[in-house]
């Protein structure tokens, strides 16, 4: 009886059952010698009765332990105890791809191709060492939190496929990813792993397996005789071509190697990622003008449109004959404007844009008149006019004040040069000079008068 706390080989304590498959169960355990967490796969007891299984098991376990690749789970140990065969492997923190698909349904083409490229790289590392996985499916693809993928649970036992499919308790999922040649009873080859990985990609893109059936045998025969349902229409043609070739019925028509499949999948993922990022750099949420081949560049990330200035003609502002406003898909300087219907059938908007925002010309257009700069020049002229008017008023006030002072000085002399008048006249430099001139003239007149009296 296998239960938590059981020790295998006097070293590996079973802590928790974490997965199950057609060949056995996987437990999270503890290596009590090294004190580290491990994954222990316990094979089905019936496999031990198969002739030659023990020798194949030991030989392939040794070979797998020599694979040094970040995408292939490390094999630490193997053995048998209490009539059980077990394999001790690296414990990978992460979720199986099957759990992710059950949660989200579908993956994006870019994400799918990135995962397929990693899985194909791992398969190539195994194929180079003479190991065929024979059980590639989402449950055996673990994805770490950082997005890297690890291929695990290699099919150690080379039991006859028909025997596995007809055995009681066989897992339906294994038949869903089986290659046509394996379903026909032939030996699995690296091309069989390529086919299974193509089925995994199909499920990631469509959200379902290519073939369904009531029994594993029915599903396996559909892999041999029928074509899968077409992928959804939103799948890019390059991605569709990669999956179709991987799932070819004839092994010779598939990708020649897992490395070749990894290369094209990685290129497709890079192209899709670039295509997604491109609008964020050069595009606009407002979209391109219908029929135009060039995007409107340097637009703000807004889904609203700006309306033309009130009273402006639909053909554009003065000096820009034939140019369009936002309703025609062209950029323009932005400043607060009254709302008005937009020409060209574009959607209405309600947002205003700060006056300081300036955007470039659409491709193929010449230099636009600097509307905002002319507006700034008019403001400068207005300020200068106001300053000049203030200076004129100030000068007029000074002149008026001086004239009044001169008049007061003259009145003081004509009234007998009283002390008050003299004091007022001497208040400014100009009044004092006038006062002295008048005094001299009065003195001359007095002398002339005295001379006439003497005569």
Could you tell me the pTM of the whole model?
0.58
Task: At 271, list the tokens.
Answer: 């192209």
Does residue 59 surpass a pLDDT of 70?
Answer: yes
> What percentage of the chain has pLDDT greater than the value 70?
62
Q: Are 33 and 25 a contacting pair, CB within 8 Å?
A: no
Helix axes 109-128, 190-206, angle to 10 degrees: 170
CA-to-CA distance for 441 and 439, rounded, in angstroms?
Answer: 5
Q: Residue with structure tokens 């006062």?
A: 435
Number of Cβ atoms within 10 Å of the Cβ of 183 = 21
- Lowest pLDDT segment from 75-89, 168-182, 234-248: 168-182
**Residue 239: half-sphere exposure toward Cβ, Cα within 13 Å:** 30
Q: What pLDDT, on a 0 to 100 scale, did the predictor assign at position 315? A: 40
Task: At 30, list the tokens.
Answer: 């503890």
Does residue 260 surpass a pLDDT of 90?
Answer: yes
pLDDT tens for each residue of 3-51: 899 899 889 999 999 887 667 789 999 999 999 999 998 888 777 777 7
Q: What pLDDT, on a 0 to 100 scale, did the predictor assign at position 187? A: 87
What are phi and psi for residue 29, nearest 5 degrees? -135, -175
Q: List all residues 6 or more positions away from 12 whose beta carbon is below 8 Å from its beta carbon.
A: 29, 30, 31, 32, 38, 40, 77, 86, 88
Strand (E) or helix (H) holding 39: strand 36-43
Q: What is the mean pLDDT of the chain?
A: 73
Q: Residue with structure tokens 């219908």?
A: 290
pLDDT tens for each residue of 76-101: 998 887 778 899 999 998 899 999 99
- Lowest pLDDT segment from 276-285, 342-351, 360-369, 431-440: 342-351
Strand (E) or helix (H) holding 280: helix 258-282
Q: Are 11 and 53 a contacting pair, CB within 8 Å?
A: no
What pLDDT band is residue 338 in, cutting at 50, 70 and 90?
very low
For range 334-363, the mean pLDDT: 40
CA-to-CA distance for 306 and 326, rounded, in angstroms?
Answer: 6
Query: Which residues are identified as catalytic?
Result: 135
What pLDDT band is residue 240 in, cutting at 50, 70 and 90?
very high
Number of Cβ atoms within 10 Å of the Cβ of 336 = 10
∠ at Cα 90 (196, 142), nearest 5°?
35
For range 416-422, the mean pLDDT: 50
What CA dihedral angle connects 297, 302, 305 and 308, to 10 degrees? -70
Q: Which domains does the chain have, with CATH numbers?
A: 7-90 (3.30.200.20), 95-276 (1.10.510.10), 386-445 (no CATH)
Q: Which residue has the higher pLDDT, 242 or 419?
A: 242
CA-to-CA distance for 327 and 305, rounded, in angstroms?
Answer: 8
């Amino acid at each position: 009886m296998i239960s938590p706390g059981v020790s295998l080989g006097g070293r590996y304590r079973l802590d928790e059952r974490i997965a199950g498959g057609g060949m056995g169960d996987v437990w999270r355990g503890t290596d009590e010698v090294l004190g580290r967490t491990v994954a222990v796969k316990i094979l089905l007891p019936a496999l031990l009765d198969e002739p030659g299984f023990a020798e194949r098991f030991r030989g392939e376990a040794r070979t797998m332990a020599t694979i040094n690749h970040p995408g292939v789970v490390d094999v630490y140990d193997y053995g048998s105890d209490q009539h059980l065969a077990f394999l001790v492997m690296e414990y990978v923190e992460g979720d199986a791809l099957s759990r992710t698909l059950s949660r989200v349904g579908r993956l994006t083409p870019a994400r799918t191709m990135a995962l397929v490229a990693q899985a194909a790289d791992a398969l190539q590392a195994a194929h180079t060492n003479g190991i065929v996985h024979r059980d590639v499916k989402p449950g055996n693809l673990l994805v770490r939190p950082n997005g890297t993928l690890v291929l695990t649970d290699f099919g150690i036992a080379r039991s006859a496929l028909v025997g596995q499919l007809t055995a009681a308790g066989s897992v339906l999922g294994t038949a869903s990813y089986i290659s046509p040649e394996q379903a026909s009873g032939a030996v699995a080859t690296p091309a069989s792993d390529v086919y299974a990985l193509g089925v995994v990609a199909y499920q990631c893109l469509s959200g379902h397996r290519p073939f369904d059936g009531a029994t594993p045998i029915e599903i396996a025969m559909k892999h041999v005789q029928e074509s899968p349902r077409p992928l959804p229409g939103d799948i890019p043609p390059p991605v569709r071509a990669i999956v179709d070739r991987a799932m070819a019925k004839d092994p010779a028509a598939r990708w020649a190697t897992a490395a070749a499949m990894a290369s094209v999948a990685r290129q497709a993922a890079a192209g899709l990622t670039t295509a997604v990022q491109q609008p964020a750099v050069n595009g606009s949420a407002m979209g391109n003008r219908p029929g135009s081949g060039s995007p409107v560049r340097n637009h703000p990330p807004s889904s609203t449109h700006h309306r033309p200035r009130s009273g402006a003609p639909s053909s554009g502002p003065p000096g820009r004959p034939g140019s369009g406003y936002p309703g025609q898909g062209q950029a323009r300087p932005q400043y607060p404007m009254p709302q008005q219907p937009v020409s060209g059938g574009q959607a209405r908007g309600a947002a205003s844009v700060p006056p300081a925002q300036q955007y470039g010309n659409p491709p193929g257009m010449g230099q636009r008149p600097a509307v905002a700069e002319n507006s700034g020049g008019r403001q400068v002229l207005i300020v200068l006019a106001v300053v000049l008017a203030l200076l004129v008023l100030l000068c007029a006030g000074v002149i008026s004040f001086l004239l009044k002072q001169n008049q007061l000085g003259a009145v003081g002399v004509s009234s007998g040069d009283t002390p008050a008048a003299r004091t007022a006249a001497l208040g400014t430099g100009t009044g004092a000079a006038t006062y002295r001139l008048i005094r001299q003239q009065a003195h001359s007149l007095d002398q002339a008068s005295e001379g006439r009296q003497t005569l």
